[in-house]
Structure 1
Amino acid sequence: MKDPGALDPVSRAVLSAFAELVTSSGLGPTADVGCGPGKVTAYLTGLGVSAFGIDLSPKMIELARAAHPGLRFDIGPMSALAAADSELGGVLAITAQTLQAPEEGAKRPVAGFLARKPAVDDTGT
């Protein structure tokens, strides 16, 4: 993946909009699933998102940790996220090549964004 800052304007706008949704929700960190060398995780962090990366490849996590030593990167599949659904403010899978380890199912390319919306309180706000 290209450095996110070098992406086309539409891709940068989508990442920026995602970052705004997640930070405005105030609902916790974002998981960058299939983070590879951590470029998108670092880009989101630069936009104010509390983000961490997870990838199946120990080599990719090694590269991510070396390039971005202040950020959190974990080795494992998406199913091994160390957070409950209610703890995540967002999930990003833009650089993921697969959502599952080969032994867990078929490989298929994916790209997706999910930002949580805060629950509405009794006052409707």
Structure 2
Amino acid sequence: MNLKKYFLPKGWTEKKISEDTYLLTIPQEELEAWKIKRWKKDNVEKLIRENGFHMKSEGRSGTIYFVQENQVCEIYFEVSGVKEFDILISFEGLTEWELPERKTIGKTEKEEILEKLKIWLKEKKIKSDL
């Protein structure tokens, strides 16, 4: 297979940033379509009715949805490759409520979500890197 000859999907761009490194850009519309598809698969419209955390996995990664007063935010995680942790959580990526409308999560609010998440993980006996 000749890796030098390949085609990007329509709208995707690639920028060479070093001899062997490229920056791939995917159109925002496509990213949003993927997100909506994932929400449908994860039944987010039902989850939004129940406050708390809801974990949805797909393969070696997934999303922890946090619902508070009909607002939903997403916390990405991956299955850990070490015995010390069950999952690795990308909490620093949490910046906004996704539904019902996008809204920035404030620093204090984010800290509160983190504390609630730690309690929930402990109750579920899930070892994380938090």
TM-score (norm: length of structure 2):
0.29
Q: Which has the higher contact order (CA 8 A, sep 6+)?
A: 1
Whichever of the two has the greater Rg, that structure is 2
